[in-house]
Amino acid sequence: MKIAVIGAGYVGLVTAACFSEFGYEVICIDNDKYKIKKLKKNIIPIYEPGLSDLVKKNAKSKYLLFSNSISKIRDANIIFIAVGTPSSRRGDGEADLKFVFSVVNDISKFLKKGKKQLVITKSTVPVGTGKKIQDIICELRPELINNKDYFVSSNPEFLREGSAIEDFMRPDRVVCGVTDKKAEETLKELYRPLNLREAPVLFTDIESAEIIKYASNAFLALKVSFINEIANLCEKTGGNVQMVAKGMGLDNRIGPKFLHPGPGFGGSCFPKDTRALYASFKKNKIKNTLVKSVINFNEDRKISIVNKIKNLLKPNIKNKVIAFLGVTFKPNTDDLRESPSLEIIPRLRKLGIKIHAHDPAFNSEFKIKEFDKVKWYSNVLDAMKNADLLVIHTEWNEYRGLDLLKVKKELKNPIILDLRNIFNLDDVKKFNIKYYGIGFKS
């Protein structure tokens, strides 16, 4: 089986590396010459646990190749489109498909007569995109359609950053949207190596597969916003959101996952996908309140966090110093995309508050305008020196083991606002540190 993956980003690179690990010949293609040059030198531009080793191993064994040239798809049985589908600049939240359609145009030039190639969207695309891809290829290469020389399918990914390889190798399910038995057979063969792990491979029509992706992400985002809203109720009434989440999660219709309160969801998917799903409703003139409320609540959440911080620093906020631990949208990634910190830190700076920040994944990409004048520290305790407040924004494991005695000594005011509840209230109280978590009265 020869596979081409177009797009060497978070999804494309993980997909290419994992399929090459199955022993397939995979070529990963990207039009970013610099990125491909680095990949050919085994320099992986992505902080994803285990990815670097997987790429190096399979590049060495030649199962995994890299190229700038899309013509390389001509020998592939399966062609994955794994390019970005960002929110459109129009601001209506719709997924911008210009990269997808540009790749489809390029692909159509090299599809081979009689080869019965599979063109598969791995990118998250709005319902109806598969059909549009079919129409584009049909228009550009009418001679192919008659002999059914190619098939368009949908195979959305469900990879979480920080555990992407695990999620690929041990998926809860594989979803394949197909229009043809031949496509189904090819995909069954492709995912056969996962049979040993009994990962269910669900075959649907293309539209259902496209909707499954958005509906799954939006539902997970809904769970996060829901528990954040319940956390607000707990803070006012004396409930403990962790106990509430535990009690809810024991109901197997609800499940315990994605019920951890925090500063709001971020990342390259939940925000983008909830906006794109809402846009699909609007485009199809269907009233939608639920997805919209998830989006609105999440935006308001970041403002409410800023207000929480203001209240802890009163009365004189200006020139106060905050030790801000973690800026990425979640641990085990260096991804800042739509992280709540991108909204929270600029608002704190506007209030004249000084930010002393630390993040284990810190790199030069963190020098962005949202973090202008943020002082970065490589040592987490140094970031706390003389700070008026310690804010835990991202639940990196290295923060869970902090020596609270040392923390107290470094802080000017022993106050912790733990936006991820990584500490236990009673443990912290032993050190006479004022502790504020999320979702319980402190």
Please report, as ranges, the residues that interact with ligand UDX according to CB under 6 A: 157-161, 217, 220, 224, 258-260, 262, 265-267, 269-270, 329-330
Which class for 253: exposed (0-12), middle (13-18), buried (19 or more C-beta within 10 A)?
exposed
Question: Smaller CB distance to ligand UDX: residue 185 or 229?
Answer: 229
Q: Are 323 and 389 in contact (CB under 8 A)?
A: yes
- CB-based closest residue to ligand UDX: 269
C-alpha span between 45 and 280 (Å, rounded): 32
Q: Could you tell me the smallest distance in angstroms from the CB atom of residue 430 to ligand UDX?
A: 27
Q: Could you tell me the smallest distance in angstroms from the CB atom of residue 320 to ligand UDX?
A: 26
The token duo for 206 is: 């293309």
The token duo for 268 is: 């390259």
Q: Look up residue 368 and give its DSSP letter.
A: -
Question: Smaller CB distance to ligand UDX: residue 35 or 330?
Answer: 330
Q: Which of 380, 416, 375, 384 is nearest to 398 (CA)?
A: 380
Q: Could you tell me the smallest distance in angstroms from the CB atom of residue 324 to ligand UDX?
A: 16
Q: Could you tell me the smallest distance in angstroms from the CB atom of residue 392 to ligand UDX?
A: 12
The token duo for 125 is: 């695309």
What backbone phi and psi angles, to 5 degrees, belong to 81?
Answer: -95, 115
C-alpha span between 301 and 369 (Å, rounded): 22
Question: Smaller CB distance to ligand UDX: residue 72 or 213?
Answer: 213
Q: Which of 148, 107, 145, 152 is nearest to 131 (CA)?
A: 152
Question: Smaller CB distance to ligand UDX: residue 11 or 103?
Answer: 11
CA 278 to chain centroid? 18
Q: Could you tell me the smallest distance in angstroms from the CB atom of residue 127 to ligand UDX?
A: 17
269 catalytic residue (yes or no): yes
Instruction: Exactly one of 28, 176, 234, 269 is catalytic; name it.
Output: 269
C-alpha separations of 317 from 211, 322, 349, 351 in Å: 46, 10, 11, 7
C-alpha separations of 335 from 12, 112, 215, 315, 342 in Å: 16, 38, 23, 35, 12
Q: Tally Cβ neighbours within 10 Å of residue 397.
A: 10
- Dihedral of alpha carbons 395, 397, 399, 404, sign: positive
Q: Could you tell me the smallest distance in angstroms from the CB atom of residue 360 to ligand UDX?
A: 15
CA 182 to chain centroid? 32
Question: Smaller CB distance to ligand UDX: residue 337 or 349?
Answer: 337
* Edge-first strand listing for the sheet containing 415-418: 375-376, 354-358, 321-325, 389-392, 415-418, 434-436
Question: Smaller CB distance to ligand UDX: residue 135 or 229?
Answer: 229
Question: Smaller CB distance to ligand UDX: residue 159 or 313?
Answer: 159
Q: Could you tell me the smallest distance in angstroms from the CB atom of residue 293 to ligand UDX?
A: 16
- Dihedral of alpha carbons 139, 141, 146, 148, sign: negative
The token duo for 303 is: 């403002």
Catalytic residues: 269
